[in-house]
Each structure stands twice: as structure tokens, then as C-alpha cells.
Amino acid sequence: MDAEDQALVQAFKRGEESAFAALVIKYREQVYRIARRMLHGHEDAFDVAQEVFIRVHRALPRFAGRSALRTWLYRITVNLSLDYASRGSRAVLSGLEDLEWTPAANDDPVETAERNELARTVKTTIDALPPRQRAMVVLRVYQDLPYAEIARIMGCAEGTVKATMFAAFGKLRKALAPVMETR
């Protein structure tokens, strides 16, 4: 486990609540981004990220450190996101509007529209993947995690991750072909 994480976990176990706040600050953005990539809605991603840290706060006193804290956190995030997605979350109900990123004041409107169109296509394509394939693609493509860590997060063999990624990329390639031709 990362030395800084280990120190923070030990401090939390000694009763220092500020150590937990430091852990939240360190990981909140990555946790939120994974959830948002998997769910696409800000509200759902926010709820999942909150729930992740509530569960971590509850279980951290018993955390033995057999896996890295980051791996444990991401596993909770992925499992909760899959659970939210399977329950028909707000993102599914609210359509695709929430997929668009908030533009900055000085952004070119045409560029923003094109970027949003691309984002929409990519997100619907990733959404069409089976849940576990989607999780692995998000962890690999957007979080740059090694296959070994993805395997630990997903609770499967490294070979399974490679095979799943291969299958997922076959589907992504086919679905994104029209977009790639126009780019």
C-alpha cells in the first residue's frame, strides 16, 4: 500500500478524523470520475461517490491493508456504480441531456456542439457494453490502471481482463466506425 495512504489509515484508526478527510480529498475526484463515466449523470455520480466514502468510513477501522487502499476504493466504486446502473438510475430515466459537459464562457459554440455530439456518441457506445466490460474499459482507458489492478478490482484473473477488453474493443470499434470515418 502507498506509504501516505498507510499513514492516513493508521491515523484514522487511532481516532484522527482529519486523516479520513485527507483521504477523501485525495480520492474524491477519481472516485467521482469513475462513477460519472459509468453512470453519466452528475447526480448519480455524486450519490455514488458519497456512498463510497460513507462505506469506507464505516469499514476503514477493520481495513487490514491486504490490498492497496486505492484498489479497495475503486472496487467499492465500481460495485456501487454497477448496482446503481442495474437499478435504473436517474441518468437512465433523464435521457441524454446530462451527458453534455458544462461549457466555459469563452468556449466556441460550434466546437462545444461538436464535442458534445462526440461525447454523446462515445457515451452511448460505452453504455451499450455489458456492465463489467464497461467498468473495465473505464478503468483502463480513463483511469490508466494496469491490467493486474483491474483484475483485483473486478475480482477476476488478469487473463479474463485481457479477454474482456479484447471483446469490448471489438464492439466499440464497430459502434464508433461512423464517427471515426467523419473525423
Binding site for another protein (CB under 8 A): 13-15, 21, 24-25, 28-29, 32-33, 36, 42, 46, 49-50, 53-54, 57-58, 61, 101-104, 115, 118-119, 122-123, 126, 137, 140-142, 144-147, 162, 165-166, 169, 172-173, 176, 179-180, 183
Q: Which is nearer to another protein, 86 or 102 (CB)?
A: 102
* Cα-to-chain-centroid distance, residue 119: 16
As measured in angstroms, the least distance from the Cβ of 172 to another protein is: 6
DSSP 153-177: HHTS-HHHHHHHHHHHHHHHHHHHH
CB of 141 to another protein, least distance (A): 5
CA distances from 17 to 13, 32, 130 (A): 9, 21, 39
* CA dihedral sign of residues 83, 135, 151, 64: negative
CA distances for 64 relative to 16, 72, 76, 119, 153, angstroms? 18, 11, 16, 40, 16
Q: Estimate to the nearest angstrom the gap between the alpha carbon of 140 and the chain centroid.
A: 10
